[in-house]
């Protein structure tokens, strides 16, 4: 499973959403298990169907992602807004100028933002922001996107004045 998760980051979310597999300790799996073993242990799920579910989820995630360069162009053209989903401490340490920090108060407002503008979620490396974008897309925010590589990619590809940092 570890190799599957590395190749297809959406796999865990897809397995949980489709089959309630991998979301908690009672339905979890071990990194050394194979997809076939996980399927057998979970009511003999059809391996081919599970693999197709993982592939489809991966393709959906890929369509939702934009590069840092694309995100910068969308923002500059007025076609996108950056929403930062990192912690307050991370935001305080460094953030992209013009981005918006996601707060509980902002969540209901997102749906009222112009639907012709992408809402591009940002985190440190693009993992938490992908979860946020898929969450909001699943709640009918069709213009949700995520920035591949996160603020780290922005620092490398768009604005080297934005400091890179280590978590922890």
Tell me how many domains the chain contains: 2
Does one domain contain both 91 and 124? yes
Does one domain contain both 20 and 84? no
- Whether 3 shows a pLDDT value over 90: the answer reads yes
Torsion of Cα atoms, 30 then 148 then 53 then 43, to 10°: 20
Asked if the structure places residue 48 within a domain, the reply is yes
Helix pair 150-157, 68-76: axis angle to 10 deg: 80
Backbone angles phi, psi at 95, to 5 degrees: -155, 165
Helix pair 47-64, 128-138: axis angle to 10 deg: 100
Mean pLDDT, to the nearest integer, of 143-160?
97
Asked if the structure places residue 98 within a domain, the reply is yes
Question: Where a domain ends, among 22, 41, 64?
Answer: 64
Does one domain contain both 76 and 52? no
pLDDT of residue 168: 62
Mean pLDDT, to the nearest integer, of 59-83?
96
* Residues 141/102, Cβ–Cβ less than 8 Å: no
10-66: pLDDT as tens digits: 898 899 989 999 877 777 899 999 999 999 999 999 999 999 999 999 999 999 999
């Amino acid at each position: 499973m570890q190799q599957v998760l590395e190749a297809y980051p959406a796999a865990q979310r897809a397995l949980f959403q489709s089959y309630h597999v991998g979301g908690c300790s009672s339905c979890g799996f071990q990194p050394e298990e194979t997809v076939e073993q996980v399927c057998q242990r979970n009511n003999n799920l059809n391996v081919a169907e599970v693999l197709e579910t993982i592939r489809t989820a991966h393709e959906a995630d890929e369509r939702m992602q934009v590069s840092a360069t694309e995100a910068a162009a969308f923002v500059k053209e007025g076609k996108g807004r950056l929403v930062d989903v990192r912690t307050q401490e991370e935001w305080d340490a460094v953030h992209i100028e013009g981005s918006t920090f996601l707060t509980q108060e902002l969540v209901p407002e997102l749906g009222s933002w112009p639907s012709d503008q992408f809402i591009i979620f940002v985190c440190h490396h693009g993992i938490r922001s992908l979860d946020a974008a898929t969450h909001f897309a699943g709640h009918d925010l069709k213009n949700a996107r995520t920035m591949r590589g996160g603020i780290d990619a922005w620092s490398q590809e768009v604005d080297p004045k934005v400091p890179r940092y280590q978590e922890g």
